[in-house]
Amino acid sequence: MRRRRTPRPISAAISEALDRAEPATLLAAVQSAWAGAVGEAIAREATPVAERSGVVTVACASSAWAQELDLLGPQILAKIRAEVPAESPLEALRFVTSAESA
């Protein structure tokens, strides 16, 4: 067994542990990429909550947000596809109000 000669930064150890702890699912990949793809303002109002057959459902705070994000859907989808692994078959995003996703 090899031992490290110098300690590594705690941030590197935490990042490595989080990568191993994260489930290897399409939903987890989209959730990880979400804030970076849409920005903090949208991420506060909408969250990916479910996935089925490559379609990720995003719960939005209001119907106005759901409608607006539906219009921006193709651009958001392109940004997220660039971030998720190629083997993750992200087909589409579905925007609904929070009450519909329950």
pTM for the model stands at: 0.75
Q: Considering its fold, how many domains does the chain have in total?
A: 1
Q: 22 near 32, Cβ under 8 Å?
A: yes
Q: What is the pLDDT of residues 48-60, one digit of tens each?
A: 999 999 999 999 9
Residue 7 lies in a domain: no
Q: 101 near 59, Cβ under 8 Å?
A: yes
Mean pLDDT, residues 39-64: 95
Domain that holds residue 77: 24-101
Within 10 angstroms of residue 31's Cβ, the number of other Cβ atoms is 17
Mean pLDDT, residues 4-33: 77
Residue 37 lies in a domain: yes
- Residue 75's Cβ-side half-sphere holds a number of Cα atoms within 13 Å equal to 7
Which amino acid, residue 62?
A: S
